[in-house]
């Protein structure tokens, strides 16, 4: 009964004219930037963060969330019709979706993606409503030592699922922790790494860092790699799947929804990991593996369901534990912190309208996206062919305006530029910027809880082992890191012996 009452509270907040308008705006923008390759939800949310500070917190989060899960819908359209994924999560959809389009079944592929996305988004929202109160009650029993271990687990878990070198991922986290320590120590009042610069006394502006890493750096990288591909020949004749198509997509949609919901909760997981994992799962369980890569409907239904489920369940750890599971959740957490709202278990009790209004808006947003995507397919395909050289000047200008409007400080523009250039160099070195952002965001909280735990235990480090929750989280952290590191070490050693 409590959940039903909370959902009704959330619906009352979500269906107000203002919130409906901004939910629609977020879903529309999400679909738009999902369609246009080279922009992405990360850069878009970074660009819009300063603008949202003029809105009510609930309205702002509803719009930003709509951009995130809306982009998962939009990316599949051009992946199927043009073989040009608007998002990294849609890369795997392009394999079989584009083959279906070349066979004259593009409409069926698009309808499959929309149906799978809608079903997965709806189920994931139910999971958020059910699981969030349970996790919140657990989180309220955490002490400083438990929170410290939880953040260690979140940071190491993001390392284990990061692409590329595990050493580089750890290096990015350590760099983020060091950057997060710049400013005034809240315990002692000591100025650290400020070099006498007044602008650094409050630390590095995280919005400027986000704009640099995911706005400027992504724009520079997209300038050098962007390509425009022609739309395939032929028209969409029918969007209605046949009865056999429904039977073939049912299992992949269910499995993709379950897998994506689980992976979305994990720190460092989310939509990208979910879509690739779902495709691998469907290829393994299918009786017709030879069809994969040649127009298998399961290769569209599974990944599209998984990436939408993963995108929405990634809200769970951020809202209930205060632990962002990916870079976009880190930005949403930053938006809450800048409004004086601390992400974590207190959000549900202190801000129930915001918490449940955001959850209820996901149902509304998924319904809007179902209506938005299919009728406007022709428009989305044409938009995908806009030359990128017409887009990037506006992106850079709005990034600069957004950062400056935060505090009217030109220093923040310099910070954004420095992190933009540095982020581009890191990308060229195959170093992911997301772990750096997570380290920077969680670093101050990690330090504060470490200090509190040691003060309460009078400097006894055994407090992290003696508390069952803390000990369990540390053990899982070490185990997850070993499971990833040992096979890689063994593979490197074998390659060295062969050389």
Residue by residue, DSSP assigns 204-245 as --HHHHHHIIIIIHHHHHHHHH----PPPSS--------HHH
Check whether 424 has a pLDDT greater than 80: yes
Kindly list the distances between the CA atom of residue 264 and the CA atoms of 14, 155, 257, in Å, as whole numbers in the listed order: 23, 15, 10
What are the φ and ψ backbone dihedral angles of 171, each rounded to 5 degrees?
Answer: -60, -40
CA 63 to chain centre: 15
- Average pLDDT of the residues in 271-297: 77
Check whether 228 has a pLDDT greater than 50: no
What are the φ and ψ backbone dihedral angles of 191, each rounded to 5 degrees?
Answer: -85, 125
- pLDDT score of 21: 92
The helix (H) or strand (E) run that includes residue 459 is none
Mean pLDDT over each residue of the chain, to the nearest integer: 77
Check whether 364 has a pLDDT greater than 70: yes
Q: Rounded to an integer, what distance in angstroms lies between the CA atom of residue 22 and that of residue 26?
A: 6
Q: Rounded to an integer, what distance in angstroms lies between the CA atom of residue 394 and that of residue 403?
A: 14
Kindly list the distances between the CA atom of residue 73 and the CA atoms of 29, 51, 106, 295, in Å, as whole numbers in the listed order: 11, 24, 15, 19
- Written as one string, the DSSP assignment of 276-327 is HHHHHHHHHH-S-GGGTTTT-THHHHHHHHHHHHHHHHTHHHHHHTS--SSH
409 CB neighbour count, 10 Å cutoff: 14
Q: In terms of pTM, does the model score above 0.85?
A: no
The pLDDT > 70 percentage for the chain reads 82
Which one is predicted more confidently, 77 or 239? 77
Quick one: DSSP state of residue 104? Answer: I
* Degrees, nearest 5: CA angle 255-261-263: 100
State the Cα torsion 260-263-265-270 to the nearest 10°.
-80
CA 446 to chain centre: 21
- Written as one string, the DSSP assignment of 183-199 is EE-TTT--EES-TT-GG
| Contact in structure between 35 and 86 (CB atoms under 8 Å) | yes
Q: Rounded to an integer, what distance in angstroms lies between the CA atom of residue 365 and that of residue 412?
A: 34
What are the φ and ψ backbone dihedral angles of 354, each rounded to 5 degrees?
Answer: -65, -50
Kindly list the distances between the CA atom of residue 491 and the CA atoms of 167, 430, 497, in Å, as whole numbers in the listed order: 15, 20, 10
203 CB neighbour count, 10 Å cutoff: 19
| Contact in structure between 374 and 114 (CB atoms under 8 Å) | yes
382 CB neighbour count, 10 Å cutoff: 11
- pLDDT score of 382: 65
For the chain, what percentages of helix, strand and coil (3-state, to nearest 5) are there?
Answer: 75, 0, 25
189 CB neighbour count, 10 Å cutoff: 7
Kindly list the distances between the CA atom of residue 51 and the CA atoms of 88, 211, 404, in Å, as whole numbers in the listed order: 26, 13, 11
The helix (H) or strand (E) run that includes residue 349 is helix 346-350
Q: Rounded to an integer, what distance in angstroms lies between the CA atom of residue 416 and that of residue 412?
A: 6
What are the φ and ψ backbone dihedral angles of 183, each rounded to 5 degrees?
Answer: 125, -150
pLDDT band at 230 (very low <50, low <70, confident <90, very high): very low
Range picked from 95-104, 420-429, 474-483 for highest mean pLDDT: 420-429
Strand partners, 192: 183
CA 96 to chain centre: 24
Check whether 414 has a pLDDT greater than 50: yes
| Contact in structure between 120 and 253 (CB atoms under 8 Å) | yes
| Buried-state track 206-241, b at ≥16 Cβ within 10 A, e below 16 | bbbbbbbbbbbbbbbebeeeeeeeebeeeebeebeb
pLDDT band at 231 (very low <50, low <70, confident <90, very high): very low
* Degrees, nearest 5: CA angle 462-464-468: 110
Q: Which of 238, 179, 208, 196 is CA-nearest to residue 439?
A: 179
Q: Which of 330, 319, 297 is CA-nearest to residue 125?
A: 319
Check whether 244 has a pLDDT greater than 50: yes
| E runs forming strands in 351-463 | none
pLDDT tens for 298-348 read 888 888 888 888 888 888 878 877 777 777 787 788 788 877 787 877 787
- pLDDT score of 476: 83
Check whether 52 has a pLDDT greater than 60: yes
Report helix, strand or coil for 427: helix
- Average pLDDT of the residues in 423-443: 81
């Amino acid at each position: 009964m409590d959940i039903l009452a909370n959902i009704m509270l959330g619906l009352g907040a979500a269906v107000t004219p203002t919130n409906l308008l901004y939910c629609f705006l977020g879903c529309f923008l999400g679909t738009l930037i999902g369609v246009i390759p080279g922009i992405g939800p990360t850069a878009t949310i970074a660009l819009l963060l300063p603008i949202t500070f003029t809105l009510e917190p609930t309205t702002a989060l509803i719009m930003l969330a709509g951009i995130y899960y809306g982009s998962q819908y939009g990316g599949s359209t051009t992946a199927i019709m043009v073989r040009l994924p608007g998002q990294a999560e849609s890369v795997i959809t392009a394999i079989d979706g584009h083959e279906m389009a070349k066979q004259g079944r593009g409409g069926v592929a698009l309808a499959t993606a929309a149906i799978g996305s809608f079903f997965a988004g709806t189920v994931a929202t139910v999971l958020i409503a059910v699981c969030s109160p349970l996790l919140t009650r657990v989180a309220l029993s955490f002490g400083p030592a438990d929170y410290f271990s939880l953040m260690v687990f979140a940071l190491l878990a993001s390392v284990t699922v990061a692409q590329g070198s595990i050493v580089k991922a750890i290096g990015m986290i350590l760099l983020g922790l060091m950057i997060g320590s710049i400013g005034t120590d809240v315990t002692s009042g000591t100025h650290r790494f400020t070099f006498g610069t007044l602008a650094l006394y409050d630390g590095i502006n995280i919005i400027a860092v986000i704009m640099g890493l995911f706005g400027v750096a992504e724009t520079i990288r997209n300038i050098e790699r962007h390509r425009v591909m022609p739309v395939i020949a032929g028209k969409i004749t029918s969007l209605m799947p046949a009865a056999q198509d429904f039977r073939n997509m049912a299992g992949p949609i269910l499995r993709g929804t379950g897998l994506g919901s689980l992976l979305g909760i994990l720190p460092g997981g989310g939509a990208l990991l979910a879509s690739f994992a779902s495709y691998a799962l469907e290829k393994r369980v299918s009786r017709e593996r030879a069809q994969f890569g040649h127009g298998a409907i399961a290769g569209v239904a599974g990944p599209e369901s998984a990436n939408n489920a993963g995108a929405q369940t990634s809200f769970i750890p951020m809202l209930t534990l205060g632990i962002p599971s990916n870079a976009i959740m880190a930005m949403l957490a930053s938006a809450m912190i800048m409004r004086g709202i601390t992400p974590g278990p207190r959000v549900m009790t202190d801000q129930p309208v915001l918490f449940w209004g955001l959850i209820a808006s996901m149902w509304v947003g998924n319904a809007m996206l179902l209506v938005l995507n299919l009728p406007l397919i022709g428009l989305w395909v044409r938009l995908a062919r806009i030359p990128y050289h017409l887009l990037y000047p506006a992106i850079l200008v709005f990034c600069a305006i957004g950062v400056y409007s935060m505090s009217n400080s030109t220093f923040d523009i310099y910070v954004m530029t420095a992190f933009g250039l540095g982020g581009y160099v890191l990308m060229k070195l195959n170093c992911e910027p997301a772990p750096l952002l997570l380290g920077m965001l969680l670093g101050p909280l990690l330090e504060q809880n470490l200090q509190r735990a040691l003060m309460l235990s009078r400097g006894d480090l055994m407090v992290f082992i003696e508390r069952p929750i803390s000990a369990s989280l540390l053990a899982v952290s070490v185990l997850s890191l070993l499971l990833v590191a040992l096979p890689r070490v063994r593979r490197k050693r074998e390659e060295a012996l062969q050389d």
